[in-house]
Amino acid sequence: MQIYSEEHDIFRDTFRKFVAKEVTPFVPQWEEYRAVPRELWMKMGEYGFLCPWLPEKYGGLELGFEYSVIINEELIRGDGFGVGVPLHSDVAVPYISTYGNDAVKERWLSGCASGEVITAIGLTEPNTGSDLAAIRTRAVRDGDSYVINGQKTFITNGYFADLIVVAVKTSPEAGHRGISLILVDKETPGFSRGRKLEKMGYHMQDTAELFFEDCRVPATNLLGEENKGFKYMMEKLQRERLEVCIKCQVNAEEALREGLEYAKTREAFGRPIGNFQNTAFVLAEMATDVKLGRVFLDKLIADHIQGKDIVQEVSMAKYWLGEMVNRVAYQAVQIHGGYGYMEEYRICRIFRDVRALSIFAGTSEIMKLIVSRNLGLNPK
Looking at the fold, whether 344 and 291 belong to one and the same domain comes out as: yes
Q: Where among 83, 117, 151 does a domain terminate?
A: 117
45 in the same domain as 156: no
Q: CA-CA distance, 283 to 266, in Å (whole number)? A: 14
Q: Is 106 a catalytic residue?
A: no
Q: Which domain holds residue 51?
A: 6-117
- Residues in contact with 373: Cβ distance below 8 Å, sequence separation at least 6, in sequence order: 379
Q: What is the CATH number of the domain that holds 176?
A: 2.40.110.10
Residues 347 and 220 in one domain: no
Stated pTM of the model: 0.95
Number of domains into which the chain is organized: 3
Q: Is the pLDDT of residue 296 over 80?
A: yes
Residue 113 has what pLDDT?
98
User: In this predicted structure, what is the pLDDT of residue 2?
Assistant: 78
Instruction: Give first-to-last CA distance, the chain, whole Å.
Output: 39
Among 74, 209, 240, 253, the active-site one is 240
Q: How far is Cα of residue 211 from the mean position of the Cα atoms in its chain?
A: 22
The chain-wide mean pLDDT, for the chain, equals 95
> pLDDT per residue over 248-266, tens digit each?
999 999 999 999 999 999 9
Q: What is the pLDDT of residues 135-189, one digit of tens each?
A: 999 999 999 999 999 999 999 999 999 999 999 999 999 888 999 999 999 999 9
Q: Which helix (H) or strand (E) holds 197?
A: none
Give the DSSP letter string of 86-102.
HHIIIIIHHHHHHH--H
pLDDT at 190 over 90: yes
- Largest CA-CA distance found in the chain, in angstroms, rounded: 79
Boundary (domain end) residue, out of 72, 90, 117: 117
Q: Please check the confidence at residue 31 and state whether its pLDDT lies above 80.
A: yes
| 308 located within any domain | yes
